[in-house]
């Protein structure tokens, strides 16, 4: 049996990718149980709001096509869909992604704290309710910051994205406030930006490739419905089925979150050697798990 994943160690690019999948394999059942219990409601709420928004938009388009002289009514309905329904979707989507991040990072924090033992739902829930609104509020500011970087020029966005990826692990794993997490994320990347950025981008590529492949039936179904329905657009049944498949694929979001946490511990070890110091401190103590993992400092 493979040694349980030790987070507090130095890793290279390949080890971060491999250990991400190894951690999921070793903790699949408890991780999925926690994910379903704590993220299920938010995924379902975002899914239902997305279905309502898309069906409303589709009905508004159909009304506009058949409205004739009553174009103002169709335009009003279209504007309503783009404002109210879209606003509800944005709120639930933000809560959904926040729940995924907080759940997975809290699971890892407790896994490390308990000595590589998977935590229970109750234990993760205690972390979840403490950090959820802190992360949700911070995500709005971070999101606006990333949008400004993207609008200003694509290069600043590429530069700050890896640092902002580390922001939430720092906030939860170090129980830090916004200012400390923001500055710490850039400090950790000092002299390690290229490797860390490459690892994070590859993790997101793997995630989106997995989600796209799993969503392929929904994509094919939508294309087929668009051709067969003609001017009427995609049928409501297809919208519902494709949206459900797309949101179920959000289970793949655990991949980048775990990988980014491994990046955080890797960078933290390179700067502070906390894991090494903890293992040195255990020498001579009875029943101590020294965890003699070969690594270079």
Position 217 scores a pLDDT of 85
> Residue 151: which pLDDT band, with cuts at 50, 70 and 90?
confident
The two structure tokens encoding residue 150: 């993207």
Instruction: Share the mean pLDDT of the chain.
Output: 85
Does 126 score more than 90 pLDDT? yes
Position 282 scores a pLDDT of 56
Confidence (pTM)? 0.86
CA 235-239-240 angle, to 5 degrees, is 120
Does 297 score more than 50 pLDDT? no
Which is more confidently placed, 278 or 46? 46
In whole angstroms, give the CA distance from residue 225 to residue 122: 44
Average pLDDT (93-110) is: 96
Average pLDDT (121-148) is: 94
Position 69 scores a pLDDT of 46
Does 85 score more than 90 pLDDT? no
Long-range contacts of 203-208 (CB under 8 A, 24+ apart): 203/17, 203/20, 203/255, 203/256, 203/259, 203/260, 204/256, 206/17, 206/255, 207/252, 207/253, 207/255, 207/256
Average pLDDT (127-142) is: 95
Position 82 scores a pLDDT of 64
Position 79 scores a pLDDT of 62
Taking Cα atoms as reference points, which of 192, 190, 195, 136 lies closest to residue 168? Answer: 136
Place of tokens 């096509």: 65
């Amino acid at each position: 049996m493979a040694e349980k994943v030790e987070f507090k160690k130095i890793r290279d690019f390949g080890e971060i990718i491999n250990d991400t999948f190894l951690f999921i394999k070793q903790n699949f059942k408890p991780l999925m149980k926690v994910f379903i219990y704590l993220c299920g409601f938010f995924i379902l709420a975002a899914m239902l709001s997305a279905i309502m928004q898309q069906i409303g938009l589709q009905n508004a388009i159909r009304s506009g096509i058949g409205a004739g002289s009553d174009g103002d009514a169709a335009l009003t309905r279209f504007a309503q869909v783009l404002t109210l329904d879209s606003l509800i979707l944005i709120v639930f989507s933000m809560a959904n992604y926040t729940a995924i991040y907080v759940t997975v990072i809290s699971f890892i924090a407790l896994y490390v704290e308990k000595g590589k033992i998977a935590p229970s739902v109750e234990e993760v829930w205690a972390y979840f309710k403490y950090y959820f609104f802190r992360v949700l509020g911070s995500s709005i500011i971070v999101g606006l910051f990333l949008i400004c970087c993207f609008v200003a020029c694509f290069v600043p966005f590429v530069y700050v994205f890896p640092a902002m990826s580390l922001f939430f692990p720092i906030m939860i794993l170090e129980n830090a406030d916004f200012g400390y997490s923001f500055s710490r994320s850039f400090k950790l990347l000092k002299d390690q930006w290229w490797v860390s950025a490459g690892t994070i981008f590859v993790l997101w590529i793997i995630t989106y490739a997995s989600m796209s492949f799993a969503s392929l039936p929904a994509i094919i179904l939508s294309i087929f419905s668009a051709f067969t329905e003609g001017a009427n657009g995609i049928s409501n049944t297809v919208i519902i089925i494709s949206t459900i498949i797309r949101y179920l694929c959000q289970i793949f979001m655990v991949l980048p979150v775990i990988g980014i946490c491994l990046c955080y511990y890797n960078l933290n070890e390179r700067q502070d050697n906390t894991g090494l110091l903890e293992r040195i401190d255990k020498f001579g103590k009875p029943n101590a798990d020294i965890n003699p993992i070969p690594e270079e400092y």
